[in-house]
Amino acid sequence: MGEKSVKGLMKEIATITEIDCDKRKFTNHSGRKTFIQISKSEGISDNDVMSVSRHKNPHSLAYYERPKSILQQNTLSQINSLIYNDTLLSNDKNCKFFFFSLRNFQ
């Protein structure tokens, strides 16, 4: 599918779903990334994903994977909360130390 076709398809999807595209940038890569992330999370093999995404090397798919562990997900959520000045999600001593260090680093 060509770039113009994908761009038109993305606009059509945004219109149908009432997504405001004026403040967001969607690219062909956005769709590719989402496809790879969903496929990998559903257990589709690297070879099958690569046949659609046209990646030549399975190691390239690793850049698209989401964090797998609860610790990684919690850490990313906490960093996001810290960036947006929300409250900490955990009372864990290590998490508090991490955020103390991160605040001092900024």
Q: Check whether 28 has a pLDDT greater than 60.
A: yes
Q: Check whether 68 has a pLDDT greater than 70.
A: no
Tell me what pLDDT residue 86 has.
Answer: 47
Tell me what pLDDT residue 106 has.
Answer: 46
Tokens of 28: 């062909």
- Give the global pTM: 0.43
Contact 93, 75 (CB under 8 A): no
Mean pLDDT of the chain: 73
The mean pLDDT of 69-94, rounded to a whole number, is 66
Comparing 49 with 78, which gets the higher pLDDT? 49
Tell me what pLDDT residue 88 has.
Answer: 47
Query: What sign results for the dihedral spanned by CA atoms 25, 31, 37, 38?
Result: positive
Give, as one character, the DSSP assignment of residue 22: T
Q: How far is CA 1 from CA 41, 49, 57, 64, 81, in A?
A: 24, 16, 21, 21, 38
* Amino acid occupying residue 48: D
